[in-house]
Amino acid sequence: MLATTGWTAVHRPDAGTTLRTAALASWASARIDGRPVPPADAPVRTVARFFAGLDGSQRARLAEGYPLVVGNLDGAPAALRYRANLRGLELARRAEEARSTDVSLTPADRTTAGRRAHRFESLAEPGRQILAFDPTGSGRVAEVFGDLDRASRISVIVPGVDTDVLTFERTQRRLIAPAGMAQSLYEAQRAQAPGSRTAVIAWAGYTAPTGVGMDAATGRMAVDGAVRLESLTAALPGDASVALFCHSYGSVVCGVAAHALPESVTDVVVAGSPGMRAGSVADLHTSARVWATRDSGDWIADVPHLEVGGVGHGADPVSPEFGSRVLSSAGAKLHTGYFEPGTGSLDNFAKIGTGAFGSVTCVTGDDACRRGISGTDGD
């Protein structure tokens, strides 16, 4: 009866989950020239020390043999992760292509598999730098624009609801997707400071809520996302300063993570925020500067900024009582327009990302949001 009703087809494990589960099981007993590998959830420093002790050939063998693990190990060299994720994307693409023609699956599942195969092929195009790739469930992915190893300033885009491997990039309305946001910010930074060494990461490295239902109204998914964001920022190479650009529910993730972020994170910027699960900047317990912006037509302004019984995300980050440095977002349209070229929001984001704090534009039109920052006219 189960077979004839289609239950078995609907509930078959997806290809991504199967691949990742198998990879983790294999990694758990892996060794390289007699040396055991670190656990897949090992601390960043442990992973970094392990790979520092390997030669190029040993690293390459691990990336080739265990791509879906090595490509997601915070602490592993970025170039090695790019290489591993190319291999992981190829494996996942083949698995999804097989599912797209599997008659035992529902038509909807076959269609989704075909879309995922197409997305994985796109992510593996020459020149792309995929820092993380996990096909499990709705998928997680991160991409780097610029030279991460040489960057003196790194910006990280933390997106909000409805973010997964399929929506990571878009052909239409590309600037509402993480990859489009990151590319737009990187290009704006290069235009404003051509000689600066910057890199931008589009980070869809957590499982985001779908839609604006109960998951989006609580902090459950933000807690898991915060742990992953903390690991990412702790693993960024070199002595670069880091700025987080957190959009919508992504600002909830950044708020939950704030107290545990490394000192290298000097700035946290929230746009279209429903709240940061805090009553004020002081409640975030971070040494980073906290900036906020919201377009006048952004519907998020109508969301009650409170928290009751775990529902809601707390005070409004653009309110005077919260204590953020409030930025202009002139020209941005609604909830998804903050990374559009020509907007005050993108211009401000690029200035913060390149350290040009003295020329950011405050929402009040004066120097209020710049005060107290060394080297600015508001100091």
Q: CA–CA separation, 337 vs 271, rounded Å?
A: 10
List the beta bridge partners of residue 142: 132, 203
Please, what is the average pLDDT of the chain?
Answer: 92
Would you place residue 212 in the very low, low, confident or very high pLDDT band (cuts 50, 70, 90)? confident
Residues 80-111 pLDDT 10s: 999 999 999 999 999 999 999 999 999 999 99
Query: Between these two residues, 131 and 15, which has the higher pLDDT value?
Result: 131
Residue type, 173: R
The rounded distance, in Å, linking the Cα atoms of 22 and 107 is 26
pLDDT at 374: 73
Query: What does the alpha-carbon distance between residue 85 and residue 64 come to, in Å, rounded to a whole number?
Result: 9
Task: Give the number of other Cβ atoms within 10 Å of residue 227's Cβ.
Answer: 15
- pLDDT on residue 118: 98
Percent of the chain with pLDDT over 70: 94
pTM of the model: 0.93
pLDDT at 228 over 70: yes
CATH fold label, 138-379 = Rossmann fold (3.40.50)
Between 309 and 301, the more confident residue is 301
pLDDT tens-place string over residues 333-359: 999 999 999 999 999 999 999 999 999
Give yes or no for residue 215 having a pLDDT over 90.
no
| C-beta separation of 180 from 167 below 8 A | no
- Residue ranges covered by each domain of the chain: 9-128, 138-379
With a cut of 90, say whether residue 220 has pLDDT above it: no
Residue 185's pLDDT band, with cuts at 50, 70 and 90, is very high
Convert the pLDDT of each residue in 1-58 to its tens digit. 233 333 333 445 588 889 999 999 999 999 999 999 999 999 999 999 999 999 999 9
C-alpha angle with apex 47: 145 to 82, nearest 5 degrees?
A: 30
